[in-house]
């Protein structure tokens, strides 16, 4: 962090500037974004829909396309 008084770089853990002995401001922690419940619910429904589509394809459509798996009797 640069000292606001003299502009000299100071490591983040310092509380006083090593050059001008002025108190350094505390670094601000980035604000965490709050999760929107509507977005979370929308993602849950999309996941449920994708899982349902995969289940339908694996259990119904794929066996119909590949046949029943038994060899024809001569």
pLDDT score of 23 more than 70: yes
Residues recorded for the chain: 74
Q: Give the pLDDT confidence score for residue 70 in this predicted structure.
A: 53
**Can you tell me the mean pLDDT for 37-49?**
95
Higher-pLDDT residue of 29 and 52 is: 52
Q: What is d(CA 54, CA 28) in angstroms, rounded to the nearest whole number? A: 46
Predicted confidence band at 69 (pLDDT cuts at 50, 70, 90)? Answer: low
What is the pTM for the complete model shown? 0.44
* Residues 2/15, Cβ–Cβ less than 8 Å: no
| Percentage of the residues of the chain whose pLDDT score is greater than 70 | 91
**Average pLDDT across the chain, whole number:** 85
- CA-based nearest residue to 5, from 16, 13, 14: 16
Q: How far apart are CA 1 and CA 22, in angstroms?
A: 13
């Amino acid at each position: 962090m640069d000292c606001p008084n003299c502009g000299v770089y100071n490591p983040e853990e310092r509380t006083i500037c090593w050059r001008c002995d002025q108190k350094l401001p505390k670094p601000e922690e980035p604000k965490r974004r709050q999760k929107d419940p509507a977005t979370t619910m929308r993602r849950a429904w999309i996941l449920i829909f994708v899982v349902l589509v995969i289940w339908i394809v694996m259990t119904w459509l794929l066996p119909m396309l590949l046949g029943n798996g038994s060899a024809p009797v001569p």
